[in-house]
Amino acid sequence: MFNYQSRISIYCAPENLASMNLAKRVGMEYQGIIRKDDKDAKYFLLTREKYLRGN
């Protein structure tokens, strides 16, 4: 069973470069573009395991 408390995710507008750069800087991985609230959003994810590894 997947524990949703073991990850942090963000969605940001494709034109929001500052948010995308911040997500990458803290170690989040780009997952792709999704449709959220009738708009495209870039999806980034940081898992607990990756956070604890410090990567």
Token match 């999806």: residue? Answer: 43
Specify the pLDDT at position 4: 63
Whose tokens are 């990567």? That residue is 55
Per-residue model confidence (pLDDT) at position 3: 63
Has this prediction a pTM greater than 0.85? Answer: no
Burial class (CB in 10 A: 0-12, 13-18, 19+), 55: exposed
* d(C-alpha 36, C-alpha 43), whole Å: 10
Q: Residue-wise pLDDT tens for the chain (55 aa)? A: 556 678 899 999 999 999 999 999 999 999 999 997 899 999 999 988 888 887 5
Domain range summary for the chain, segments of one domain joined by +:
4-53
Which of 40, 34, 48 has its CA nearest to residue 6? 48
Instruction: Supply 38's token pair.
Output: 């009738």
